[in-house]
Structure 1
Amino acid sequence: MALPSTYADRNCSLARALEIVGERWTLLIVRDAFFGVARFGDFATQLGIPRAVLTNRLKFLVQEDVLAHVDGEYRLTAKGLQLWPILRAMMTWGDAHYSPGGVKRTFRHEADGGLLDPQNRCEACGGVVPIAETSVEPGPGYTVFDTDPDPVSALITQPRRLLEPLT
């Protein structure tokens, strides 16, 4: 039996959520928004996504109130920020199963430098750290390529606070 092309009319919250974030590029766009990417051209450069696909995904994410488009930049809304635990869980799963060198990105509590566990609990102070107080940096499994990275990738790989716009 073939799967239906949409699940919007189904009585399943997971199926409905997949209607919003289940497309191939969508979670990567949202991930990059957490990492500070805000401009169309920067998303296109960082992801290598076809511009027409990016246009459609951004438009849809704005329509679904995951992103807001203000003054030429895309920002996560309150609804979009709620995706962080899901992204974090998927990164942890990917590191555990597909990163033999260790975690690709390390998350820290900005206030005290403590490492964060997958639930965003700081090992230094024990508190659950809000996204706005979380910094990200390359982890031990991060691979440095011999070629020069594009400017967006170079900025994203620098230690930085989540949600801080790239400059």
Structure 2
Amino acid sequence: MPFRKSLKNEACPVARSVDLIGDRWSLLIVRDAFDGMRRFGDFQRNLGVARNILADRLRKLVDAGILGTQDASDGTAYQEYVLTLEGESLFPVVVALRQWGERHLFERGERHSVLVEKGTGKAIAFMAPAARDGSTLLPGATEVRKVV
């Protein structure tokens, strides 16, 4: 397997984030954790990922402070993985990916899962970057200020 250069020292926050959670397994583990999964076996069954890859990604997510471990809530000898506050702050990232996929990866009328508010059962509103005045920000209205 070719060596992949680490981006953890890059000045770009996107590069550092992708370096940590940008592979599909890590993001899907986080998605499943938001859906209430906590045990290794449940992640593996749902994702169909090899045990060694899952163990590696879980370890990295725990080491990064995105997931924590705790004794099983049912009193068994199992260990559970839970989102930390840092992990929970990835919720807008997962929602943005979901909403982009809903808009661009499904044919009109094609069935797919939907994220809904528990209290109302209604689909959540589309998420978009907002200016300080609350108006929607389009890409042309922003710029990245490079570190000099």
TM-score (norm 2): 0.73
Question: Quick one: percent identity of the two aligned structures?
Answer: 37
**Larger Rg belongs to:** 2
What is the deviation of 1:102? 4.5
Deviations 1:48-81 (A, max 9, x none): 0000000000001000000011111011110011
2:143 paired residue number: none
Task: Find the aligned partners of 2:83 and 2:34 in 1 and give their Cα distance.
Answer: 8
Equivalent runs, 1:80-159 vs 2, <5 Å: 80-100=87-107, 101-102=109-110, 104-119=112-127
Task: Find the aligned partners of 1:81 and 1:17 in 2 and give their Cα distance.
Answer: 15
What is the deviation of 1:109? 2.3
* 1:95–1:102 contact (8 Å) kept in structure 2: no
- The unaligned stretches of length 5 or more in structure 2 are 72-78, 128-148
RMSD between aligned residues: 1.8
User: 1 or 2 for the larger relative contact order (CA 8 Å, sep ≥6)?
Assistant: 1
Task: Find the aligned partners of 1:103 and 1:65 in 2 and give their Cα distance.
Answer: 35
- 39-48 or 104-113, larger mean C-alpha shift: 104-113
Note closer, same or farther for the CA distance 1:24–1:115 as it changes in structure 2 (3 Å cut). Answer: closer
Question: What is the DSSP-based 3-state SS (H/G/I as helix, E as strand, rest coil) of the residue aligned with 1:29?
Answer: helix
Task: Find the aligned partners of 1:116 and 1:74 in 2 and give their Cα distance.
Answer: 26
- The unaligned stretches of length 5 or more in structure 1 are 120-167
Q: Which runs of 4+ in 1 moved over 6 A?
A: none
More strand by share: 1
TM-score (norm 1): 0.65
